[in-house]
Amino acid sequence: MSVAASSSPAASRRATPALVLGGTITGLFVLAALGSYVWTPYPTAVLDVAHRLQPPSAAHWLGTDHFGRDVASMILVGARNSLAVAVVAAGVGLLLGTPLGLLAAARRGLADEAIMRGADLVFAFPSLLLAIMITAVAGPGAINAIIAIGVFNIPVFARVARGAALSLWSRDYVLAARVAGKGPGLISAQHILPNIASLLIVQGAIQFSMGVLAEAALSYVGLGAQPPTPSWGRMLNDAQTMIGFAPWLAIFPGLAIVVSVLGLNLLGDGLRDLLDPRLDRRR
Amino acid sequence: MSLLSIRDLTLGIGGAEVLKGVSLDLAAGEIVGLVGESGSGKSMTGLSVLCLLPPGAVVSGRIELDGQDLTSLSEPQMRAVRGAQVGMVFQEPMTALDPLMTIGDQVAETLRIHRGLGRAAAREAAAAALARAGLPPDRFPLSRYPHELSGGQRQRVAIAIATALKPKVLIADEPTTALDVTTQAQILELLKGLAREDGCGLILITHDLAVVAETVDRVAIMRAGEIVEQGPVAALGALTHPYAQRLAKDAVLAETAPAPAPADGAPVVEATDVLRTYAPRRSAPWRRAEPFRAVDGVSLAVRPGETVGLVGESGSGKSTLLRAVLGLEALQGGAVSLDGRPFSPPSRGDARRLRRQVQAVFQDPYGSFDPRWRVADLVAEPLHLLDDPPTGAARRGRVAAVLEKVGLPADAIDRYPHQFSGGQRQRIAIARALITEPRLVVLDEAVSALDVTVRAQILALLADLSRELGVAYLFVTHDLGVVRAVCHRVLVMQAGRIVEEGETAQVFASPRHPYTQTLLAATPDLRRALAARGA
């Protein structure tokens, strides 16, 4: 008997333009954040009042702010903060939310109800207000911004994990694993988690982009990273009184936020097309 | 002069040749059975007539309906043909209807599009069409939704839609595969009656010769995109093409009774008064509702080396009973014991030791493997139940040994399940069930999803393994032909109870319970059909 030769399903999937574009933008974003440790056009901690509020020029590509700091350099350094807060916040959600979702799907009943109603409760709070509350109690700063954003990522991942896991629990291969004497914990780790990983990665990219946006919002209202650490949200805040005569101060940090969020969303969509087996059959 | 004439139809999809010069004629009032295994191109032939092919399909050849070449029509012209001149009934009654539309609206939709009828007139015509399909409006109002109907009733709605405009040609693609045998017989009778009444040509696409033998006038047997043989149904006994002969032979499962089981020995598994109830949905929180008894006081026993068939239609509780035997369900009453020790409800200490004595093979050869695991790990999974599971080379050796036993090549061990055909996957599933050397294997519709020739091979393999290893089988199925071929004893289950039980030969020869008699009469049987038609 010969074994039917067929190519792996992964081979038939291809990288979409969304994935390439999103991956490139995200790559540049990460490169900017990491590269800023090595080199920036100008130091951001040094004030140069003589050259303040200069429009974009050959010396200062994106102009300078009211303290004479180079806007391009500040955007590069600000990327560090956005990246760190968004990555850690998405990671918190992934690492805490996924096990909760898996547990809810495996145990059903009371555990499921408790976890999902808890998730509903967190969702019911206006996220920015809760973030403000947390930072108001614990004081502003990057760590508290991470906690405030991360708390909202937990129910997101819990829901995604539970929904996908529930449909897998009715599969025959899970039944086969139960016949093989495996308990809910082992089945979740060996069969469920690997099969929902692609969904979680896609959700991770989406939560990452929302984290960038949320971090910008928090630092815009002064609850994110504190001065003198540059951050995109606070650059926007600083720029708003000067938008009439120095529009570049608002335009470039704004563009940085828009482009990085767009890139991460494209990356998420592209990964979904690449990884999600449910979409695979449609082609 | 034929009504529908397909000439040298070839079809390529993405470089693969799906159809290679198919020619088929259909006269008005004639019923043709298009028979083939999965992948033979029979469904694609049906879809070609409607020009409902997947994107990227390249068609050549002619499809003439009443002298008009359908392949030359534009998409808008084709839309006028679909439904009005060519109707289609699909396999899956669950997904063929829109769940958000009432059945009356779904039938009326076709009438309004093609005939331009007004609302009231369309509803009236829809009611007539449904009544013709066996759903009279006084018992099945037009305002019903698909989820309120059974599978057979939904298929009747689909047939009402397809025949509402009295098309010249009706194509039914596996219309009864998803249905129980008694429903299958009714639906086939309905299709035949409607075709005769309207004088339309009917193409019945199926994988099972036995299903069509009683219904069709002519049979065309397809293999790998070609029609290898066609002719009147009476000539089925005298087929010339070797493949067609094999298909006809495998459709009739060998009736040679399996080797008699050793009568001695205490039962491997014994279930006594098993009760499994489900809490129904209450109409209001304060109302008490009687629990639904899915399995209602069932007792059964399987002796070592014995093959026992458990037969029932969907909803009879046989799957629930099977899970109870596997110790996967909590019971509301009764007990399951294994080798005389309580297995369900399980006692802590014995659970692992007992569980390795009972393994299972499930129906769907595609869904019963984790797609990310290799065969080596899939087959070795039940080794988890051993006190001292082998690792490394010892584990691999055990997997290789059991794979050889089920007739798979040695290189299968490092492959993924999607690289195998349906029959090969079912062999992997059997290997997985046998690796702990169990005394009982529960087979849940294990051959239902397979083509007839593959089904015959798997059944032969199971019989060999039973002789060689002395393993007992509990064979859960809706297919009485399978039971007759392999089972020593048979249990017939209806509505949660076992209504008849006995030696297979005896039950088949003289069924006592009316339900068993109905089931037997409804089961397609190629030989009986040929005898009836040849006479």
- Name residue B232's beta-bridge partners: B218
Output the DSSP codes for B36-89. Answer: --TTSSHHHHHHHHHT-PPTTEEEEEEEEETTEEGGGS-HHHHHHHBTTTEEEE
The tokens 């702990």 sit on which residue? Answer: B436
Q: Can you say whether the dihedral through the CA atoms of A39, A41, A44, A45 is positive or negative?
A: positive
**How many Cα neighbours within 13 Å face the side chain of B346?**
16
Distance from CA of B266 to the nearest CA of A (A): 23
Phi, psi of B369 (to 5 degrees): -130, 140
Show residues of chain B in contact with A2, CB under 8 Å.
409
Q: How far are the Cα atoms of A265, B64, B66, B72 from residue B69, in angstroms, in the given order? A: 49, 4, 8, 6
Asked if residue B428 lies in contact with residue B417, where contact means CB atoms within 8 angstroms, the answer is yes
Asked if residue B389 lies in contact with residue B383, where contact means CB atoms within 8 angstroms, the answer is yes
Helix ranges restricted to H, B270-421? 318-325, 351-355, 375-380, 392-405
pLDDT of residue A223: 81
Residue B51, phi-psi category: left (phi > 0), alpha (psi -120 to 50), beta (remainder): left
- CB-nearest to B409 from A3, A5, A9 is A3
With CB atoms and an 8 Å threshold, state whether A3 touches B351: no
B379-400 per-residue burial string, b: 16 or more CB within 10 A, e: under 16: bbbbbbbeeeeeeeeebeebbb
> Taking Cα atoms as reference points, which of A81, A19, A99, A114 lies closest to residue A218?
A81
A13-34 per-residue burial string, b: 16 or more CB within 10 A, e: under 16: beebebbeebbebbeebeebbe
Q: What is the Cα–Cα distance from B335 to B509, expressed in whole angstroms?
A: 32
Give the pLDDT means over successive 10-residue stretches in chain B (535 positions).
86 83 89 87 87 83 86 84 86 82 89 85 91 88 86 89 89 85 88 89 87 85 88 79 82 62 74 84 72 86 89 84 85 84 68 84 85 91 87 90 90 88 90 91 87 86 88 88 87 90 88 90 79 66
Q: For residue B27, give both structure tokens.
A: 């006269």
Give the pLDDT confidence of A235-276 residue by residue, as tens digits.
888 888 888 888 888 889 999 999 999 999 999 888 888 876
Look at residue B152 and give its three-state secondary structure.
Answer: helix
Q: Flag whether residue A37 sits within 8 Å of chain B, measured between CB atoms.
A: no
With CB atoms and an 8 Å threshold, state whether B419 touches A6: yes
Q: Which distant-in-sequence residues (6+ apart) come within 8 Å of A193 by Cβ?
A: A98, A102
pLDDT of residue A10: 43
> Taking Cα atoms as reference points, which of B293, B266, B321 lies closest to residue B474?
B321
Output the DSSP codes for B357-384. Answer: TEEEE-S-TTTSS-TTS-HHHHHHGGGG
pLDDT of residue A269: 86
Distance from CA of A26 to the nearest CA of B (A): 29
pLDDT of residue A90: 92
Q: How far are the Cα atoms of A99, A102, A169, A197, A200 from residue A193, in angstroms, in the given order? A: 9, 8, 11, 6, 9
With CB atoms and an 8 Å threshold, state whether B368 touches A176: yes
- CB-nearest to B368 from A5, A173, A186 is A173
Output the DSSP codes for B230-280. Answer: EEEGGGGGG--SHHHHHHHHHHS---PPPPPPP--S--SEEEEEEEEEEPP
pLDDT of residue A283: 36
Q: Which residue of A has its CA nearest to B325?
A: A179
The tokens 């800023």 sit on which residue? Answer: A36
pLDDT of residue A99: 95
Q: Which residue of A has its CA nearest to B373?
A: A191
> Domains of chain B, with CATH numbers?
4-251 (3.40.50.300), 253-281+288-357+465-535 (3.40.50.300)
pLDDT of residue A159: 94
Q: What is the Cα–Cα distance from A25 to A205, expressed in whole angstroms?
A: 13
ipTM (interface pTM)? 0.76
- What count of other Cβ atoms lies within 10 Å of the Cβ of residue B463? 18
Distance from CA of B327 to the nearest CA of A (A): 8
| CA B99 to mean position of chain CA atoms | 23
pLDDT of residue A95: 94
Show residues of chain A in contact with B384, CB under 8 Å.
180-182, 186
pLDDT of residue B314: 79
Q: Flag whether residue A278 sits within 8 Å of chain B, measured between CB atoms.
A: no
- CB-nearest to B419 from A1, A3, A175 is A3
Q: Flag whether residue A1 sits within 8 Å of chain B, measured between CB atoms.
A: yes
- What count of other Cβ atoms lies within 10 Å of the Cβ of residue A175? 20
With CB atoms and an 8 Å threshold, state whether B372 touches A195: yes
Q: Which residue of A has its CA nearest to B326?
A: A179
With CB atoms and an 8 Å threshold, state whether A176 touches B416: no
Distance from CA of A280 to the nearest CA of B (A): 14
Look at residue B212 and give its three-state secondary structure.
Answer: helix
pLDDT of residue B345: 64
pLDDT of residue A7: 38
**Burial class of residue A93 in the structure, from the number of CB atoms within 10 Å of its CB (0-12 exposed, 13-18 middle, 19+ buried):** buried
- What count of other Cβ atoms lies within 10 Å of the Cβ of residue B298? 24
User: Residue ranges of chain A with pLDDT lower than 50?
Assistant: 1-12, 279-283
Distance from CA of B75 to the nearest CA of A (A): 22
Q: What is the Cα–Cα distance from B423 to B116, expressed in whole angstroms?
A: 49
Whether the upstream peptide bond of residue B511 has omega within 30° of 0, thus cis, is: no
Q: Flag whether residue A185 sits within 8 Å of chain B, measured between CB atoms.
A: no
Q: Can you say whether the dihedral through the CA atoms of B179, B180, B183, B188 is positive or negative?
A: positive
Q: Which residue of B has its CA nearest to A197?
A: B372
At B118, which amino acid appears? G
- What is the interface size between A and B, counted as CB pairs within 8 Å? 75
- Name residue B17's beta-bridge partners: B12
pLDDT of residue A5: 36
| CA B115 to mean position of chain CA atoms | 36
pLDDT of residue B119: 87
Distance from CA of B356 to the nearest CA of A (A): 7
The tokens 């509020």 sit on which residue? Answer: A53
Q: What is the Cα–Cα distance from B176 to B185, expressed in whole angstroms?
A: 8
3-state secondary structure B443-472: EECCCCCCCHHHHHHHHHHHHHHHHHHCCE
Q: What is the Cα–Cα distance from B281 to B125, expressed in whole angstroms?
A: 36
With CB atoms and an 8 Å threshold, state whether B424 touches A3: yes
Q: How far are the Cα atoms of A45, B166, B325, B501, B519 from residue B498, in angstroms, in the given order? A: 84, 44, 15, 7, 14
Q: Flag whether residue A173 sits within 8 Å of chain B, measured between CB atoms.
A: yes
> Domains of chain A, with CATH numbers?
16-34+60-280 (1.10.3720.10)
Q: What is the Cα–Cα distance from B15 to B356, expressed in whole angstroms?
A: 47
Distance from CA of A12 to the nearest CA of B (A): 12
Q: For residue A204, give both structure tokens.
A: 């991770």
pLDDT of residue A276: 61
